[in-house]
Amino acid sequence: MQTVNRYGIAALYAALIVLGGCATSPLGRTQLVFFPDSEMNRMGVLAFQDIRARTPLEEDPVIRSYVQCVAAAMLQRPGGNAGVSTWEVRVFRQDQTNAFALPGRKIGVYTGMLKVTENQDQLAAVIGHEIAHVQARHANERVSTGYLAQSGSQLIAAMAGGSAQTRSNVMAMLGVGTQVGILLPFGRAQESEADLIGLDLMAKAGFDPWQSIRLWQNMGANTGSKPPEFLSTHPASETRIRQLRQRMPEAIKLYEQARAAGHRPACD
């Protein structure tokens, strides 16, 4: 009887993977996503609140206005995400070369990133890359993968014969794990995908897509012996630049269309 239960639960678990987690990214890649957007938004908001509690905000109004201007142009582009008024955009006063966007419409840029981005177009490339992660549901994909890798056996054991309290404890543990997981690094395939989606997003907003290549050249020149956190799991600079160059003709068309339609950001 125990054998039947064990195999039955394993089969059920496999079915959940197949039936409940299939999705396709904006570039056509098959994804494993288990969580509804409402749950991802909740986790994103909690993660953002935690970051805000631990990290000082930039008080310089000029710096804040500059970042807000670039973010607004990106979010108000054609086909954008309902405008900047529905997003919370914050500048964190910390000398790390990093930025992020989270489900729940949260964007954070660290002041260290502003030392590497030479102009509004390069900052737009960074913000576009981060928005692309949200648009492509990369956080959901990452949390879902971690859910399987770390919790599958415990979930099966609890559901196979554990008490109600045991099952409750397992589910509580999974909730904590997913909230932490939303802030873990993305894989390189996801990073490459965000590069290309982000390139299109900045072009649609009227930012010069060629500056994305200049940005990654700057990143490579400023890494020294220790890569910045923003690049820790990203593809090598040469690989990323090659991929961006291959995508550039399409991005230039989008850029020219945006400029012709009057999308000409002026944040510098």
pLDDT tens per residue, range 64-113: 999 999 999 999 876 655 555 689 999 999 999 999 999 999 999 999 99
User: Residue 3 domain-assigned?
Assistant: no
pLDDT at residue 16 above 70?
A: no
d(CA 156, CA 149): 12
Domain count, the chain: 1
User: Residue 147 domain-assigned?
Assistant: no
d(CA 109, CA 102): 12
What is the residue range of 69's domain? 37-133+185-260
Q: Where are the alpha helices (DSSP H) in the chain?
A: 2-20, 37-54, 61-75, 111-114, 120-135, 138-161, 164-181, 188-204, 210-222, 237-260
The full DSSP string for 122-172 is: HHHHHHHHHHHHHHTTHHHHHHHHHHHHHHHHHHHHHHHH--HHHHHHHHH
pLDDT-derived band at 27, boundaries 50, 70, 90: confident
pLDDT at residue 114 above 80?
A: yes
User: Residue 169 domain-assigned?
Assistant: no
Mean pLDDT of the chain: 80
User: Residue 45 domain-assigned?
Assistant: yes
Q: For residue 103, with 0-12 CB atoms within 10 Å meaning exposed, 13-18 middle and 19 or more buried, which class applies? A: buried
User: Residue 152 domain-assigned?
Assistant: no
Q: Catalytic residue numbers?
A: 130
d(CA 151, CA 174): 7
Closest-CA residue to 55 (of 96, 85, 86) = 96
* Identity of the amino acid at 215: L
User: Residue 256 domain-assigned?
Assistant: yes
User: Residue 97 domain-assigned?
Assistant: yes
User: Residue 168 domain-assigned?
Assistant: no
- Given a contact cutoff of 8 angstroms between Cβ atoms, the answer to whether 123 and 67 are in contact is yes
Instruction: Give residue-wise pLDDT tens across range 173-182.
Output: 444 455 555 6
Which tokens go with 31? 């994804």
Instruction: Give residue-wise pLDDT tens across range 34-68.
Output: 888 998 899 899 999 999 999 999 999 999 999 99
Do the bridges between strand 22-24 and strand 30-32 make them parallel or antiparallel, or are there none, so unpaired?
Answer: antiparallel
pTM here is 0.80
